[in-house]
Amino acid sequence: MLSVDTTFYSTYDFERFYQQFSTISVLHDKHVNIAVCLRDTATWLALCLYAKNHDISVLPIHPDTPLELAKRNACRAKCGVLFFGDMHNQITVDYRGETDGIAGLIQMSSGTTGEPKCIKRSWVAIDIEIASYISHFQDADDMTPYVACPVTHSYGLICGVLVALGRGKSPTIITNINPKFIMKMVMAAKKPLLYSSPAMLNMISLLWPKTNSLYAAMTSGTLMSKPTLEKVGKRVTHLYQQYGCSESGCVSLSRIESSNTSIGEVLPHVQISSGQDANHPEEIVITVPAINTCHQPQIIYTQDLGYFEHVENASPVLHFVARQDDTIIVSGLNVYPQEIEDIVLEHPSVIDAVLFKVNDTTAGQRACLYFTTDQLDADALRMWCRDKLAAYQIPQYLHAVEHIERLANGKVNRKKLAENYANQKPQSALEQVAG
């Protein structure tokens, strides 16, 4: 069936889980959404499959979440009960109101642009995504899936675990995030496909023996920088990237060749519109067709800027440019953070970098760069940027900082950085501001 780290769980083991769940009365009330924050990964996955097969709506919460936050998230998701820690600890949630009556998986949005919100996708819609993913990504038919990312999130849960089970594969879920442990697991496997994040793949690539390579890896959530792609690409034979959102699930996927902005060919169950070339990016708009005649097509405005690269005798490849609200307008021209960060990270003394916008009473918006380094000052970096970037692309403010905070999926919350910057500008001996 599947493994969690080094422990294998058979179909018989899962049947025992199902028998346990069948005795829990609240799981028979289809009018009650349930929230689960369970320490044991196998129990959660068994409960997820049980919920899917019995039309139960479930909100998975990461097991590290404190009780009070888990209860708030459960209430926000209109859940009537929270299983916290294990299935014996059943907590009634003080929720007042009606549920929508649709059974499915409830996810919290990433919250990188504001207050997190709950998004429910029906199990029927998820089954359609799984079938589309399998038919599109046939490279993985003979690969062995290893999931080194949270299975409380749709990337690890749906694309990693449920897709593998749909293929008839036995996935291994890795909960020990030590890169050396992950390497030990996949190095012993035949044709492993590692589902992970850019940050983890970067760490693994630094440790991986130069005499061989990891067979395949999938990344999602945030783009790799160009320097990271170069390093990872030397250690991974087949490197893939996928793109999607909480409302739609995965919508595009393909192998990364040379461009870190490539987020794949569109999966067959959706339609996507965007810009038609790199010079004219437009918002990525996803259309999910109606499941049946009783429903309307779902149109999702992602607020992501992108464009299609048209390749002769091949399907168009979607590229990600920037979040619309992350784009910085300098002198009437668009500055895209990822593009600038990729250039800055080419400097041999820059370890990490993030660009975000700050409001300016005179110019409207200015670009601020945080970077980490062991020996470089901001003035030297600015001089280096003048040879690499157009004048309007050079950050007006540069700050050397000790650490750049990132979310678990590797993303940065640029809005939060800008708010913190406005409230208290960093005071550093290395700080340099453009005049």
pLDDT bracket for residue 99 (50, 70, 90): low
pLDDT in tens, 348-359: 999 999 999 988
Given a cut of 80, is residue 431 above it in pLDDT? no
Asked if 147 and 265 sit in the same domain, the reply is: yes
Asked if 320 and 331 sit in the same domain, the reply is: no
> Token pair 């009365």 is at which residue?
25
Please give the helix or strand (H or E) that residue 166 lies within, else none: helix 163-167
Closest by CA position to 78, among listed 63, 62, 58, 61: 58
pLDDT bracket for residue 361 (50, 70, 90): low
d(CA 306, CA 357): 20
Asked if 313 and 363 sit in the same domain, the reply is: no
SS3 81: strand
Given a cut of 50, is residue 285 above it in pLDDT? yes
Tokens of 266: 């569109």
Asked if 287 and 332 sit in the same domain, the reply is: no
> Token pair 């409960």 is at which residue?
47
**What is the reported pTM?**
0.85
Asked if 155 and 236 sit in the same domain, the reply is: yes
Residue 104: give the domain boundaries: 2-108
Q: Which CATH number covers residue 285? A: 3.40.50.12780
Tokens of 341: 């960060």
pLDDT score of 390: 86
pLDDT score of 287: 96
pLDDT in tens, 122-170: 999 999 999 999 999 999 999 999 999 999 999 999 999 999 999 999 9
Cα of 74 vs its chain's centroid, Å? 21
d(CA 338, CA 96): 43
Please give the helix or strand (H or E) that residue 231 lies within, else none: helix 226-233
From residue 404, alpha-carbon distances to 86, 179, 343, 396 in Å are 35, 20, 17, 19
pLDDT score of 243: 96
Given a cut of 70, is residue 434 above it in pLDDT? no
Asked if 92 and 12 sit in the same domain, the reply is: yes
Amino acid at 135: S
Q: Which of 324, 343, 374 is the last residue of a domain?
A: 324
Asked if 177 and 218 sit in the same domain, the reply is: yes
Q: Which of 80, 108, 136 is the last residue of a domain?
A: 108
Where does 316-363 show beta strands of DSSP type E?
Answer: 317-323, 328-330, 333-335, 350-360
Asked if 23 and 7 sit in the same domain, the reply is: yes
Pair 360, 424: CB distance under 8 Å: no
Return the top range by mean pLDDT from 5-14, 94-103, 304-313, 365-374.
5-14
pLDDT bracket for residue 76 (50, 70, 90): confident
Q: How many CA atoms lie within 13 A of 137 on its CB side?
A: 33
Q: Which CATH number covers residue 429? A: 3.30.300.30
Give the residue-averaged pLDDT of 288-292.
Answer: 86
Question: Is residue 119 in a domain?
Answer: no
pLDDT in tens, 162-213: 999 999 999 999 999 899 999 999 999 999 999 999 889 999 999 999 889 9
CA dihedral 38, 49, 80, 64 (to 10 degrees): 20
Question: Is residue 211 in a domain?
Answer: yes
User: What rounded mean pLDDT belongs to the chain?
Assistant: 89
Cα angle for residues 226, 232, 238 (degrees, 5° grid): 110
pLDDT score of 238: 96
Question: Is residue 319 in a domain?
Answer: yes
pLDDT score of 329: 86
Edge-to-edge order in the sheet of strand 350-360: 350-360, 364-373, 397-400, 432-433
Given a cut of 50, is residue 435 above it in pLDDT? no
- The pair phi, psi for residue 177, each rounded to 5°, is -90, 15
pLDDT in tens, 308-333: 999 888 889 999 998 888 889 887 78
Question: Is residue 70 in a domain?
Answer: yes
Give the residue-averaged pLDDT of 369-381.
Answer: 93
Asked if 227 and 101 sit in the same domain, the reply is: no
Given a cut of 60, is residue 262 above it in pLDDT? yes
Handedness of CA 291, 293, 295, 296 (dihedral sign): positive
Burial class of residue 427, CB neighbours in 10 A (0-12, 13-18, 19+): exposed
Q: Which of 303, 324, 345 is the last residue of a domain?
A: 324
Handedness of CA 381, 382, 383, 389 (dihedral sign): positive
Closest by CA position to 138, among listed 166, 109, 105: 166
Asked if 143 and 201 sit in the same domain, the reply is: yes
d(CA 270, CA 284): 12
Question: Is residue 114 in a domain?
Answer: no
Asked if 89 and 132 sit in the same domain, the reply is: no
Number of domains into which the chain is organized? 3
pLDDT in tens, 7-37: 999 999 999 999 999 999 999 887 889 999 9
Pair 312, 349: CB distance under 8 Å: no
Asked if 190 and 237 sit in the same domain, the reply is: yes
SS3 219: strand
